[in-house]
């Protein structure tokens, strides 16, 4: 009986090690980091392969490209099997079978599945091969835990309402511009402005100052309207840029200030999140509200992370915080 328990424990330990390796690695986890580098290398090689295959002068290297294609699919197939094998660690709060289905039908799971389908049914089908390029998004996942990249992501999340409002204003301006230009240009340019929505292309190139010159007003009224739209475009297009720039500077300045003066502030508390603490898998915002804490710094895998309210704490995270009533 004891021997059986030992075998089960060893099996669980092996599965956990596999899960840690195929997940995004930290700087101190060499096997996981090596796997990340191997995956990204294969994705980049696939990108170059797709580019080089388009040159007729390199047709002699077709066997090399085919070998890379087969090797890549085999690598992705093994990875997909391992992720199914360790899916219950990715979704620890649900039964194992349900965890497997949750992974398979997740966005990451669907993309991984579609990248290995061509070897059986649609070998060489370009659309499916292009999905491998989507795996480069893993770079964003790797960098999302680090300081500068996380600041950018947190700014987009915090200012998403203002950004959405700005985009809506620009879309309304484009539609209004299209309607105006159709009204004054349709009679003299029926081929360029055949309907009320045909001016959207002109509006987009004008508002974003691309100006390809393939479609443009030729009437006096059309040119006047174009000038007015240019003035509005300069004002409205600059809004989201200003929002993002100001928020980024404000956020990054606050982070640096907290890191530089953290040890000099009174009432600082340093704590490590473990499986025995009530903070594990809780969001920072909930902890701050419930415990009356101001979390200044989050250290994860030896890297300082911006402690935004929606981050869920993991095992061995280190928090530097203070009571909110401390001045």
123-137 pLDDT, tens digit each: 445 555 666 666 665
Q: Is residue 287 part of a domain?
A: yes
Specify whether 50 is located in the same domain as 177. Answer: no
Q: What angle do CA 146, 149, 154 make, to 5 degrees?
A: 105
> Is residue 192 domain-shared with residue 276, that is, in the same domain?
no
Q: What letters, b where the CB count within 10 A reaches 16 and e where it falls short, cover 46-65?
A: beebbeebeeeeeeeeeeeb
Cβ-in-10-Å burial (0-12, 13-18, 19+) of 279 comes to: buried
Mean pLDDT of 86-104: 88
Is residue 266 over pLDDT 60?
no
Looking at residue 313, which CATH number applies to its domain? 3.30.70.1450
Is a pLDDT exceeding 50 seen at residue 145?
A: no
The pLDDT of 196-216, averaged and rounded, is 86
Asked whether 128 and 115 are in contact (CB, 8 A), the reply is yes
Report the candidate in 324, 322, 270, 265 with the shortest Cα–Cα distance to residue 299.
270
- At 295, the pLDDT band (50, 70, 90 cuts) reads confident
Give the separation between CA 255 and CA 134, rounded to whole angstroms. Answer: 31
CATH (domain of 35) = 1.20.120.350
Taking the C-alpha atoms of residue 272 and residue 161, their distance in angstroms, rounded to an integer, is 34
* Structural domain boundaries, residue 308: 265-323
Residue 219's pLDDT band, with cuts at 50, 70 and 90, is: very high
> How far is it between the farthest Cα atoms of the chain?
93
SS3 203: helix
Paired tokens of 75: 């690598």
Pair 305, 186 in one domain: no
pLDDT tens digits, 27-49? 567 888 888 888 888 888 888 88
Same-domain status, 279 and 180: no
Evaluate whether 125 touches 118 at the Cβ level (below 8 Å): yes
- Cα distance between residue 74 and residue 258, in whole Å: 47
DSSP assignment of 156-181 equals HHHTHHHHHHHHHHHHHHHHHHHHHH
Q: At 323, phi and psi to the nearest 5?
A: -70, 140
In the prediction, which pLDDT does 37 show? 84
Residue 197 lies in a domain: yes
Q: Does residue 149 belong to any structural domain of this protein?
A: no
Whether 119 shows a pLDDT value over 60: the answer reads: no
Does residue 34 fall inside a structural domain? Answer: yes
Q: How many CB atoms lie within 10 A of CB 229?
A: 20
Residue 164: inside a domain: yes
Q: Are residues 43 and 116 in the same domain?
A: yes
Q: Are residues 25 and 121 in the same domain?
A: yes
Q: Is residue 148 in a domain?
A: no
Cα separation, 174 vs 204, in Å, equals 7
Of residues 130, 129, 136, 113, the one with CA closest to residue 70: 129
Q: Which of 65-79, 97-111, 247-261, 283-297 has the lowest mean pLDDT?
A: 247-261
User: With 0-12 CB in 10 A as exposed, 13-18 as middle and 19+ as buried, what is 68?
Assistant: middle
- Name the domain boundary from 253, 278, 306: 253
What is the total residue count of the chain?
Answer: 327
Instruction: Please determine, for residue 302, whether its predicted confidence score (pLDDT) is greater than 70.
Output: no
- pLDDT over 70 percentage in the chain: 78
Strands (E), the chain: 268-272, 293-300, 303-305, 318-323
Tell me: do 137 and 14 sit in the same domain. Answer: yes
Q: Is residue 152 part of a domain?
A: no
> Is residue 248 situated within a structural domain?
yes
Q: How far apart are CA 327 and CA 323, in angstroms?
A: 9
Q: Is the pLDDT of residue 116 over 70?
A: yes
| Statement: residue 71 has pLDDT above 60 | yes
Q: Sign of the C-alpha dihedral, residues 185, 188, 189, 191? A: positive
Please tell me the total count of domains within the chain: 3
pLDDT score of 118: 59
Q: Report the C-alpha gap between 324 and 53 in whole angstroms.
A: 61
Measure the CA–CA gap between 309 and 262, rounded to whole angstroms. Answer: 19
CA count, 13 A, side-chain hemisphere, 250 = 11
How does residue 149 score in pLDDT terms, banded at 50, 70 and 90?
Answer: low
**pTM (two decimals):** 0.49
């Amino acid at each position: 009986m004891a021997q059986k328990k030992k075998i089960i424990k060893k099996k669980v330990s092996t599965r956990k090690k596999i899960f840690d390796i195929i997940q995004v690695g930290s700087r101190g986890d060499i096997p996981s980091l090596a796997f990340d580098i191997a995956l990204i290398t294969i994705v980049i090689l696939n990108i170059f392969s797709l580019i080089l295959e388009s040159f007729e002068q390199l047709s002699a290297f077709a066997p090399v490209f085919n070998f890379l294609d087969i090797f890549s699919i085999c690598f992705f197939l093994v990875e997909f099997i391992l992720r199914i094998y360790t899916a219950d660690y990715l979704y620890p709060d649900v039964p194992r079978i349900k965890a497997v289905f949750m992974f398979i039908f997740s966005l990451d799971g669907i993309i991984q599945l579609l990248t290995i389908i061509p070897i059986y049914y649609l070998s060489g089908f370009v659309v499916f091969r292009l999905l491998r390029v989507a795996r480069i998004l893993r770079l964003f996942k790797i960098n999302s835990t680090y300081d500068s990249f996380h600041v950018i992501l947190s700014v987009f999340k915090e200012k998403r309402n203002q950004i959405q409002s700005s985009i809506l204003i620009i879309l309304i301006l484009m539609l209004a511009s299209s309607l105006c230009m159709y009204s004054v240009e349709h009679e003299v340019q029926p081929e360029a402005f055949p309907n009320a929505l045909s001016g959207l292309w002109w509006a987009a190139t004008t508002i974003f100052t691309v100006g390809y010159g393939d479609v443009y007003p030729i009437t006096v009224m059309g040119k006047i309207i174009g000038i007015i739209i240019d003035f509005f475009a300069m004002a409205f297009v600059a809004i989201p840029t200003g929002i993002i720039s100001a928020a980024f500077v404000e956020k990054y300045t606050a982070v640096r200030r907290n890191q530089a003066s953290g040890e000099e502030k009174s009432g600082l508390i340093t704590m490590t999140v473990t499986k025995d603490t009530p903070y594990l898998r809780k969001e920072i915002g909930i902890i701050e509200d419930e415990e009356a804490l101001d979390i200044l710094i989050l250290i994860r895998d030896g890297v300082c992370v911006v402690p935004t309210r929606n981050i869920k704490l993991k095992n061995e995270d280190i928090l530097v915080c203070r009571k909110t009533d401390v001045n």
